[in-house]
Copies of this chain bind each other. A is one copy, B any other.
Amino acid sequence: MIVTPQKARFTQPLKLTSGAVLPEFEIAYETYGELNAARSNAVLVCHALNASHHVAGTYADDPDNVGWWDNMVGPGKPLDTNKFFVIGNNYIGSCFGSTGPTSINPATGKPWGADFPVVTVEDWVAAQACLADHLGIERFAAVMGGSLGAMQALQWALSYPARVRNSIVIAATPRLSAQNIAFNEVARQAIMTDPDFHGGHYYDKGVVPRRGLRIARMIGHITYLSDDAMMEKFGRVLRRVTPGFDFDVDFEIESYLRHQGDKFSTYFDANTYLRITKALDYYDPAADFGGDLSKAFARAQADFLVISFTSDWRFSSARSREIVRALLDNKRVVSYLENDAPQGHDAFLMDDARYFNALRAYFGNIAL
């Protein structure tokens, strides 16, 4: 499946949750399949921290660059592009094409950098609604995402209840725990205390806070995998014949983390990382309802599919059950799969049979 990334430009200002205003913005997106005549078969896919609008397929000039959810989205796949018109989009504040800190600030003609406002999950969804308007989609057959993407899928059902028929919420939490925030804060501190950060104004200095990004990514990777999955994958296996009694790589896991950190630090924008983690921290749909998630969900009209993974300790199944319970309190139609998968949070990206079959069946039952 060869795809072409596109950009939609919006010249109307976008008022953000913080009170700041984006005078104009762009959203990078891709589409897979065809929009039907009734415009009833559109599915919006929302990505997590490190991914982009490149959900599926490859580019003609870059055949190795496969979309991050290519196992899920395509002809004959669980989210079948023979039936559905699927849209991948890059949220604002990201560094993969949509307007973000690396974009040019029209007021200065230079990159926004540290001046780019802090955006929220609600802001992402509001910007995505502009994209939906642009594509002529009044109502989505489904909005779907995992992790941070699941927060967007959930928020769509709250921000635009009439525009979402199905909200598919995978490996989610309704709001971060103190421990979740703690991990984000350590990552931010690693970035912000990197001498190459320069208060976020590093673009014109010819440097990037690579050390900080590296640490942030290593911390992230630990939380994406379960203890058991990490033990299964890396164990206590040495990379050398005997321990080195120095600080070079001894264990496989060290090599893996250094490699992941190094790679990430070459392409990810630090100002984006800071803002994404903040959006995660702030997200709390119950905040305006005295912490009562049931009250917060009262305005939802969609049907819901909620999926969690038993080994996910970042956003445990207990957190998904909070969502399910609050939806049931509101008599929403909810399907819930608590999948017994070993991989931890990253399980949402794996083609586990039970998980994929559940999605295949769910999408199969959506009448157009």
Binding site for B on A (CB under 8 A): 17-20, 117-118, 175-179, 181-183, 185-186, 188-190, 192-195, 211, 214-215, 218-219, 221-222, 225, 227, 230-231, 233-236, 243, 245-247, 250-254, 257-258, 261, 274, 278, 281-282, 284, 313
Contact = CB atoms under 8 A, between A and B. Distances in A.
A95 to B, nearest CB: 17
Copies of this chain held together in the complex: 2
A-B pairs, 9 with minimum CB distance: A18-B245, A178-B230, A118-B245, A179-B227, A193-B211, A178-B234, A178-B253, A186-B218, A185-B254
Nearest to A191: B247
Contacts of A257: 182, 185-186, 189
A192 B178 CA distance: 28
A37 B321 CA distance: 62
B189 A218 contact: yes
A84 to B, nearest CB: 36
Specify the main secondary structure of chain A where it touches its partner.
helix
Given A183-B222, A190-B190, A251-B281, A178 B236 contact: yes
A53 B277 CA distance: 40
Contacts of A221: 182
A197 to B, nearest CB: 11
13 contacts: A178-B251, A181-B254, A182-B222, A182-B257, A186-B222, A186-B257, A189-B258, A190-B215, A193-B215, A195-B195, A243-B282, A247-B278, A313-B313
Contacts of A219: 186, 219
A350 B350 CA distance: 41
B218 A20 contact: no
A205 B3 CA distance: 55
Contacts of A20: 245
Contact of A251 (B117, B181, B195, B236): B181
A86 to B, nearest CB: 32
Nearest to A250: B281
Given A177-B227, A177-B231, A185-B218, 14 more contacts: A175-B236, A176-B236, A177-B230, A178-B231, A178-B234, A178-B252, A179-B225, A182-B222, A185-B251, A189-B214, A189-B218, A190-B215, A193-B215, A313-B313
B274 A247 contact: yes
Contacts of A252: 178
B177 A189 contact: no
B186 A215 contact: yes
Contacts of A185: 218, 251, 253-254, 257-258
